[in-house]
């Protein structure tokens, strides 16, 4: 029973933390129809900034804000390359991702470990006040739940504002929005900025949880997030009232549960990326076949 509880807490914790990454990819993939490969660079960017700043004694909550700003800057770079310089979306993301790999190495090297005595959002204020002497796994679960829920609600509110509706319209029908004499380029850039800011925030949170950074930790994050988004959208396809952010959150938890089950049944850790790719391909094939049957 205890093992089951620990496994459930672990799955929920990982699902919640990576839901923030999934929110970001949901914006570019589902709303803007923009394949933003910047993700594989902005995720470790948030982690690199976090590792170095934590080691310098900066407050962990302020570090998260700085990581968000760094991620937003990377998204801005991709947006400008695509919108202002007319570079194709896929290539714009690849260019920024490639540049970020070198930038991340300059910030934190290939690997960076944060000392166990360094305060994080789980060991400092307000966690110590609100959660007291609760076990660390419980603190992580509660804090990630609050952060994931807060971001979901903020995104839902944003999508109901004029700027948010313009962002959605730009992805649905760019020609129509242009015919209204509205600049869709600015909306695209804003969407990419928000997306990569969230991705970098996820990287920062992962770094604070694991107390480490690796230059390769962003590899495959785009594939994971896309799979999580598609899983969520598939699960709630017939429930039209379910918000996209809810689908992204649910998809992230379900995906992490699938990976955890695979490990539980003896899957070697070095095959996780292969399983991720196969699972993603399977989801795409199933989704495509369903669309053809319903057509």
* CATH number for position 68: 1.10.3470
Average pLDDT over residues 226-245: 84
**Number of domains the chain is built from:** 1
CA–CA separation, 17 vs 13, rounded Å? 6
Task: Write phi, then psi, for 273 (nearest 5 degrees).
Answer: -65, -40
Q: Which helix (H) or strand (E) holds 66?
A: helix 60-83
**What share of residues in the chain are helix, strand, coil (percent, to 5)?**
75, 0, 20
- Label residue 112 exposed, middle or buried (CB < 10 Å: 0-12, 13-18, 19+): buried
Residue closest to 127 by CA, chosen among 59, 73, 188, 67? 59
User: 82 is written with which tokens?
Assistant: 């695509």
CA–CA separation, 191 vs 174, rounded Å? 14
pLDDT confidence of residue 180: 65
Banded model confidence at residue 263, pLDDT cuts 50, 70, 90? confident
pLDDT confidence of residue 277: 78
Supply the pTM of this predicted model.
0.94
CA–CA separation, 270 vs 65, rounded Å? 33
Domain containing residue 242: 2-294
pLDDT tens per residue, range 122-172: 998 888 888 878 899 999 999 999 999 999 999 999 999 999 999 998 888
Average pLDDT over residues 46-75: 97
Mean pLDDT score of the chain:
91
User: 142 is written with which tokens?
Assistant: 């509660």
pLDDT confidence of residue 126: 84
Region of 161 (left: φ > 0; alpha: ψ -120 to 50; beta: rest) is beta
CB-CB contact of 118 with 55 (8 Å) = yes
């Amino acid at each position: 029973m205890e093992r089951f509880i620990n496994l459930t807490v672990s799955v929920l914790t990982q699902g919640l933390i990576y839901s923030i990454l999934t929110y970001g990819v949901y914006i570019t993939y589902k709303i803007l129809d923009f394949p933003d490969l910047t993700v594989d660079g902005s995720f470790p960017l948030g982690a690199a900034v976090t590792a170095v700043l934590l080691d310098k004694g900066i407050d962990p909550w302020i570090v998260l804000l700085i990581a968000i700003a760094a991620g937003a800057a990377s998204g801005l770079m991709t947006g400008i390359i695509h919108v202002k310089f007319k570079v194709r979306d896929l290539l714009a993301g690849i260019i920024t991702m490639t540049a970020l790999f070198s930038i991340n190495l300059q910030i934190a090297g290939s690997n960076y470990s944060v000392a166990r005595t360094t305060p994080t959002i789980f060991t400092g204020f307000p966690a110590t006040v609100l959660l007291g002497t609760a076990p660390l796994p419980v603190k992580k679960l509660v804090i990630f739940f609050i952060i994931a829920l807060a971001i979901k609600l903020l995104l839902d509110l944003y999508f109901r504002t004029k700027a948010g509706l313009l962002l959605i319209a730009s992805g649905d029908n760019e020609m129509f929005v242009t015919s209204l004499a509205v600049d869709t380029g600015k909306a695209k850039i804003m969407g990419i900025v928000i997306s990569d800011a969230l991705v970098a925030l996820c990287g920062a949170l992962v770094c604070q949880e694991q107390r480490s950074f690796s230059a390769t930790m962003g590899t495959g994050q785009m594939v994971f997030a896309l799979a999580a988004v598609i899983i969520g959208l598939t699960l709630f396809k017939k429930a039209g009232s379910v918000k996209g952010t809810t689908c992204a959150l649910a998809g992230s938890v379900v995906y992490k549960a699938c990976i955890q089950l695979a490990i539980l049944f003896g899957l070697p850790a070095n095959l996780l990326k292969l399983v991720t790719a196969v699972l993603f391909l399977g989801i795409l094939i199933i989704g495509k076949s369903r669309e053809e049957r319903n057509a």
